[in-house]
């Protein structure tokens, strides 16, 4: 496994390079990724997968967490949908067949 792109990503006060549009810190991101609200959790997980170097993703989430949140995360992946679908052996189709109307 490759090391993180920035060792500061393990410090709670660091502002991650991949959250460039917000002032969120690593601590803020970790809080959002365990939110009881699946839409909030999915938004931030999607942002992480879309914007971060893939080797930094694993500092924050596991493949199982991504798979569990996939129907919500999928809408936030943009051009990275195909990549993450391939890496996790998940269907990257949008909208998801079983929830197309609710999530589009």
Residues 32 and 55 sit within 8 Å (Cβ to Cβ): no
Phi and psi for 61 in degrees, rounded to 5?
-140, 165
pLDDT, residue 97, reads 67
pTM of model > 0.85: yes
Residues 32 and 41 sit within 8 Å (Cβ to Cβ): yes
Is the pLDDT confidence value at 99 over 70? no
Q: In the structure, what pLDDT confidence band is assigned to residue 33 with cuts at 50, 70 and 90?
A: very high
Q: In the structure, what pLDDT confidence band is assigned to residue 1 with cuts at 50, 70 and 90?
A: confident
Q: Provide mean pLDDT across the span 66-88.
A: 95
């Amino acid at each position: 496994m490759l090391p993180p792109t920035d060792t500061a990503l393990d410090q709670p006060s660091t502002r991650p390079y991949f959250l460039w549009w917000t002032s969120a810190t690593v601590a803020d991101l970790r809080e959002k990724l365990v939110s009881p609200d699946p839409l909030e959790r999915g938004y931030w997980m999607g942002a992480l997968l879309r914007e971060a170097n893939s080797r930094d993703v694993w500092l924050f989430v596991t493949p199982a967490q991504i798979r569990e949140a996939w129907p919500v995360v999928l809408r936030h992946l943009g051009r990275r949908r195909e990549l993450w679908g391939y890496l996790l052996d998940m269907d990257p189709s949008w909208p998801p067949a079983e929830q197309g109307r609710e999530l589009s």
